Amino acid sequence: MSAHWLLWQHLFLRNVERVPIKFLKYLEGTDSLYEIRVLTHKCSIRIFSFFDEGNLVILINGFIKKTDKTPKNELELGIKLKEEFFLEKRERNKK
């Protein structure tokens, strides 16, 4: 994957009001977990993410997608990492 391609995608997405589903997809059946899609000519990269405090996007894990269906173990990991993020955040805020 070229750095040029990633930079182009980043600049494109920075300038749109609504991100196309081609680049960001809500994962049905989850509690507000999203899949960022990075498409290259060689592979399809997915990065799970969610929103915190308005427009702050938290990226939690990524993988190379080899099939049409999101692997169950990757989805379970994404859900677990999101839960851990908010648990740790609550703990920090208690102090």
The predicted-structure confidence for 24-44, as pLDDT tens digits, reads as follows 889 998 988 999 888 887 888
Query: Domain-by-domain residue ranges, the chain?
Result: 3-94
Contacts for 44 with CB less than 8 Å, ≥ 6 apart? 37, 38, 64, 65
pLDDT band (50, 70, 90) for residue 3: low
> Residue 35 and residue 58: Cα distance in Å, rounded?
11
The confidence band for 1, taking pLDDT boundaries of 50, 70 and 90, is very low
User: Given a cut of 60, is residue 55 above it in pLDDT?
Assistant: yes
d(CA 43, CA 58): 23
pLDDT at 4 exceeding the cut of 70: no
Q: CB neighbours of 69 closer than 8 A, spacing ≥ 6?
A: none
